Chains A and B, each alone.
Chain A
C-alpha cells in the first residue's frame, strides 16, 4: 500500500498562475482533507470531503477550490496564486468507522509563489 500520495513534491509559481495539487489514497477511506502548514501556525484545514461526492470549507478556504474526483482522489486548485499561498500543503485521509479519527498524511507539496 502506498497510503496517501501527493504530486508534485515541489512547485514554484508566479503570482496569478494557476495549478492543481493532486492527492490519492489507496486505503478505501471515505474522508479526505487538505491542510496548509505555515511556521508557528500548525496545520489549518482548507477543505475537506466527508465522503465521495461532498466537499466543505474548512478554516481557510479563500483562494482555493477542490474536487473529489472519486473515492480515491481529492485535488486542490489554486486559480490565481498569491504570495500568501506560499506554504506546505498536506493531504490526509481517514476512515469513517472503527478507528475513523486517525488521519493518514501524504508527504506534502512545498509551494512557493513569487
Chain B
C-alpha cells in the first residue's frame, strides 16, 4: 500500500531564511506527487505537482520541489520565507492510473515563521 511520511511535525524558520520540508513515499512505481498548503481555517491549495519529466518542479508562491527517485523523496523548498508562508503543508501521492484518482496524504508539517 502507498504511504507518505513527513518526518517533521513542526518547523520554525526565521523570515528571509531558506526552507526545506521533507516528504518520503512508499510505492512500487513512480507515483504522481503533490504539495498542498493549508492556511489556518482554510481548505487546501495546490502548490505544485510532479507527473514526469524534469525532476525539479516550480510552483506558486516561489516554491519548488525536487523528485529524487533513488531516495523516494519529494522535498519542498523555498529560498526565502515570508511571514505569510506560515501554514500547514501536506505532501500527497497517487498512482499513475487508478480508479477514482485517489490520493494518499502525509500527516502534514506546520511551518512557523519568526520575525
Residues of chain A having any CB pair with chain B under 8 Å:
4, 31, 33, 35, 40-45, 48-50, 56, 58, 90, 92, 94, 96, 99-108
CB neighbours (8 Å) of B45 from chain A are: 105
Chain B residues in 8 Å Cβ range of A56: 99-100
Q: Is the CB of B49 within 8 A of A102?
A: yes
Q: Hey, which bits of chain B sit against chain A, CB under 8 A?
A: 4, 9, 32, 34, 36, 41-46, 49, 51, 90, 94, 99-103, 105-108
Determine if A43 and B90 form an interchain contact, defined as CB atoms under 8 angstroms apart: yes
Q: Is the CB of B101 within 8 A of A31?
A: yes
Q: Does A107 contact B103, Cβ atoms closer than 8 Å?
A: no
Given A102-B49, A105-B43, A106-B43, A43:B101 Cβ within 8 A: no
User: What residues of A have a CB within 8 angstroms of the CB of B101 in the complex?
Assistant: 31, 50, 94, 96, 100-101, 103
Chain B residues contacting A43 (CB-CB under 8 Å) are: 44, 90, 105
Tell me the minimal C-beta distance from B21 to chain A in angstroms.
14
The residue among B32, B44, B106 with the most chain A CB atoms within 10 A of its own CB is B44
**Shortest Cβ distance from A24 into chain B, in angstroms?**
14
B32/A40 in contact, CB under 8 A:
no
Specify which of B49, B106, B107 lies most central, judged by the most chain A CB atoms within 10 Å of its CB: B107
The one of B46, B99, B105, B108 in contact with A102, judged by C-beta atoms closer than 8 angstroms, is B46
- Other CB < 8 Å A-B pairs besides A40-B108, A43-B105, A108-B41, 20 of them? A41-B107, A42-B105, A42-B106, A42-B107, A42-B108, A43-B90, A45-B102, A49-B100, A50-B100, A90-B43, A90-B44, A96-B101, A101-B49, A101-B94, A101-B101, A101-B103, A103-B44, A103-B46, A105-B43, A106-B43
A86 CB to closest chain B CB (Å) equals 17
- In this complex, what residue of B is CB-closest to A54? B100
